[in-house]
Amino acid sequence: MRLPPLQIQVESRYVAEQSQPEKQLYLFQYRVTMENRHDQTLTLTHRHWKITDGNGSLNEVSGEGVVGQTPTLAPGESFSYTSAVTLPTPVGSMTGFYTLLSDDGQVLQSPIDRFALTNPRSLH
């Protein structure tokens, strides 16, 4: 089995000071760190997210790059960014994939494992 071209780690946190639970608006920040473990330089061209709220509603979001950037990573190089998502529930999750272009023109995908979005005070 071949390893994905990127090693991806995600940390998420609930942002209470920017959330409005009375309006069903819960803001979650997430920080993604990716490392190129492919043997070629890779450029991240697109992202695709599947965002699921606590009611099971799915929202899919696709677009170019991440936070307005299309980072290029040499083998072994890392890149981190922070972004955010708003949900109507105090819990949810995200998963998805990045699309990458290698130096020799291959289009690759690297999966992003599902991670939780949780307001710690909402768990019993």
**In a structure prediction context, what are the per-residue pLDDT tens digits for the chain, which is 124 residues long?**
567 899 999 999 999 999 999 999 999 999 999 999 999 999 999 999 999 999 999 999 999 999 999 999 999 999 999 999 999 999 999 999 999 999 999 999 999 999 999 988 765 4
Question: Which domain range does residue 42 map to?
Answer: 6-116
For position 80, which CATH number holds?
Answer: 2.60.40.1470
Size of the chain in residues: 124
Confirm if 6 and 112 have CB atoms less than 8 A apart: no
Whether 66 is in a domain gets the answer yes
Whether 122 is in a domain gets the answer no
- Residue among 118, 112, 122 nearest 49 (CA): 112
Q: Is the pTM of this model over 0.85?
A: yes
CA 77 to chain centre: 18
Run of H or E residues at 40: none
